[in-house]
DNA sequence: GAACTATACGGAGGGTGCCTCCGGTTTGTC
DNA sequence: GACAAACCGGAGGCACCCTCCGTATAGTTC
């Protein structure tokens, strides 16, 4: 559990071919299963879909979170990287656009949202890389908006993401409603003298 | 399933004494259990605590939600009734105070929050009476604030409650953080020309 | 290409929770 | 006191979680 031990990828020999294959099969099956049966799909169901024993699934992914992470982390990172193009836009617009993308994504992945946001203000644990990506993309946007005096200075990215994440988790029926709620909240983020 | 049938309380004979007793025992046990073992306590555990067979529990409360409602609905209604004294305060302050009370309560009852808010914008289902109480208390406060031009006119109580509920569900570690996020969101609710 | 071993597989099994069903018991009534 | 309606409670079937370990296989060495 110490952070000083040698990273496994430098000491361990490469995984066996069958192990890698099964890992991929499980992730693929999980992605499908989460998509069309909801994110509370049982791990046994996923193992069945992947044509893999339950034991194998558990060896690769000791917890449900670990699997969730493997399924979604890549997508979050893509989304964050895609935020690079926002740098050209005006500070406020860029921030708003980023937040909207994030919410749109999270809203479709309730399970991810719930788990990921649990770790937003904790430093350790899973989803560390997602958290890092989120910060790399969001921090500059927020700071720029604050320096341009279009966003209130008395807050930080952690709060913004938590607020926005809370909104993303709202179970709305009407389509435009979440956007409107988000708009209200973002108005609260604006600078006022 | 039709809404035209006679309400049960007008046709059915009063419950038997033992049934009422057990009902109360289960609610009491559930309240305790949810309080000190979290709201995911198993129904069997609650039945054990209540010294009641699992079958009895299920007869009185066919679903987990039904039990949750029996445990918490009274509290929500109390909270809403207690909002009457806010009528004397300035419109904006009254609205803010109400929202703060609501969030403070919901934050301690994550399970309730999650379930209740699922029904905020649906008309049927459980938690109907909670919903009614919420509206009776909140609607006048919001409308008064809107008429006084201190709250934005382009929203309604449903949105406000959903926004606030989303925030209440945020799992924060630092104590003041949720209040601050709420403050930001409420700023977004203010009137601007 | 055969022998060997670290690595990985997979499913049986024990534990828990969900929910239903129905034989037996209790309550309220006549 | 007797009777029926209402109610009780737990056994049992099912699904899921997770662990453990005997068996199979990939990769390595000669």
Residue numbers in A near B170 (CB within 8 A): 117, 162-163, 165-166
∠ at Cα B191 (B174, A166), nearest 5°?
30
How many Å from the CA of B67 to C1' of D10?
21
Instruction: Render pLDDT for B44-86 as a digit per residue (tens, 0 to 9).
Output: 999 999 999 999 999 999 988 889 888 888 888 888 988 989 9
Residue numbers in A near B116 (CB within 8 A): none
Q: Are A129 and A188 in contact (CB under 8 A)?
A: no
Q: For residue A58, which nucleotide's C1' is closest to its Cα?
A: D18
Instruction: Render pLDDT for A125-139 as a digit per residue (tens, 0 to 9).
Output: 667 788 888 999 999
Quote the pLDDT of residue A151: 97
Q: pTM above the 0.85 mark?
A: no
How would you label A27-65 residue by residue, b for 16+ Cβ within 10 Å and e otherwise?
A: bebbbebbeeeebebebeebbebbebeeebbeebbeebb
Q: B184 vs A122: CB contact, 8 Å cut-off?
A: no
Instruction: Render pLDDT for A29-62 as a digit per residue (tens, 0 to 9).
Output: 999 998 888 888 999 999 999 999 999 999 999 9
Q: A172 vs B162: CB contact, 8 Å cut-off?
A: yes
In whole angstroms, give the CA distance from residue B110 to residue B112: 5
Quote the pLDDT of residue B180: 95
Quote the pLDDT of residue A145: 97
How many Å from the CA of A100 to C1' of D15?
39
pLDDT band with cut points at 50, 70 and 90 for residue B108 = confident
At a CB cut-off of 8 Å and minimum separation 6, what does A148 contact? A91, A92
Quote the pLDDT of residue B12: 53
Q: Which residue has the higher pLDDT, A8 or A103?
A: A103
Q: Is the dihedral of CA A109, B118, A157, B150 positive or negative?
A: positive
Quote the pLDDT of residue B6: 41
How many Å from the CA of B24 to C1' of D7?
15
Q: Are A26 and A47 in contact (CB under 8 A)?
A: yes
- Closest CB to A122 among B173, B177, B192: B173
Q: Are A161 and B129 in contact (CB under 8 A)?
A: no
Write out the two tokens for A43: 């791990």
Residue numbers in A near B159 (CB within 8 A): 177, 180-181, 184
What is the torsion angle, in degrees rounded to the nearest 10, for the CA atoms of residue B20, residue B22, residue B27 and residue B29? 160
């Amino acid at each position: 559990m110490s952070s000083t031990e040698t990273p496994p990828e430098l000491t361990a020999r490469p995984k066996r071919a069958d192990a890698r294959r099964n890992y991929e099969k499980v992730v693929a099956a999980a992605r499908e299963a989460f998509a069309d049966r909801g994110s509370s799909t049982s791990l046994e169901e996923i193992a069945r879909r992947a044509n893999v024993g339950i034991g194998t699934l558990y060896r690769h992914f000791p917890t449900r979170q670990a699997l969730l992470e493997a399924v979604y982390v890549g997508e979050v990172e893509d989304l964050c990287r895609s935020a690079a193009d926002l740098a050209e836009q005006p500070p406020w617009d860029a921030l708003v656009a980023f937040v909207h993308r994030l919410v749109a994504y999270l809203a479709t992945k309730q399970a991810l949202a719930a788990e990921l946001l649990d770790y937003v203000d904790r430093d350790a644990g899973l989803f560390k890389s997602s958290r890092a990506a989120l910060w790399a993309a969001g921090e500059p946007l927020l700071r720029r908006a604050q320096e341009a005096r279009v966003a209130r200075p008395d807050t930080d990215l952690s709060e913004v993401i938590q607020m926005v994440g809370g909104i993303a988790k709202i179970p709305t029926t009407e389509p435009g409603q979440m956007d409107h709620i988000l708009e209200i909240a973002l108005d609260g983020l604006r600078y006022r003298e």
